[in-house]
Amino acid sequence: MGRPLRIYHNPRCSKSRAALALLEERDLHPEIVHYLDTPPSTAELRQLLDRLGMTPRQLLRTGEAEYAELGLADPTLGDEAIIAAMAAHPRLIERPIVVSGDKAALGRPPEAVLTLL
């Protein structure tokens, strides 16, 4: 595989650990981005969403406390407000995300990342 791989990873998440293990089992060693420590910018998030073919709301973790605290269930909130909330509160970003070139996959289930290979 010629393109570098990157995984937006949370080591405390079982799905994230499983996706990383699936890649490593195939002798692939992605760049690991601990996105809770180094959150993606709003521009990076827009690029990830474009590569995933998803809307910001589709990438939003609705079970996190910040979701309720920030009123993100409000259907009138626009994409930019949701992207800004995810950049400021990275726990709201669904995980893991694996990027290869101009494509990305959300590892839910973890095997979904194998579609990039």
Residues 3 and 100: their CA atoms lie apart, in Å, by 6
Let me know if 9 is a catalytic residue. no
Per-residue CA distances from 59 to 2, 30, 81, 97 (Å): 27, 21, 13, 10
3-class DSSP assignment, residue 9: strand
Residues 59 and 83: their CA atoms lie apart, in Å, by 9
Q: Which residues contact 77 (CB under 8 A, 6 or more apart)?
A: 71
Which is the catalytic residue, given 13, 18, 54, 77? 13
> Active-site positions?
13
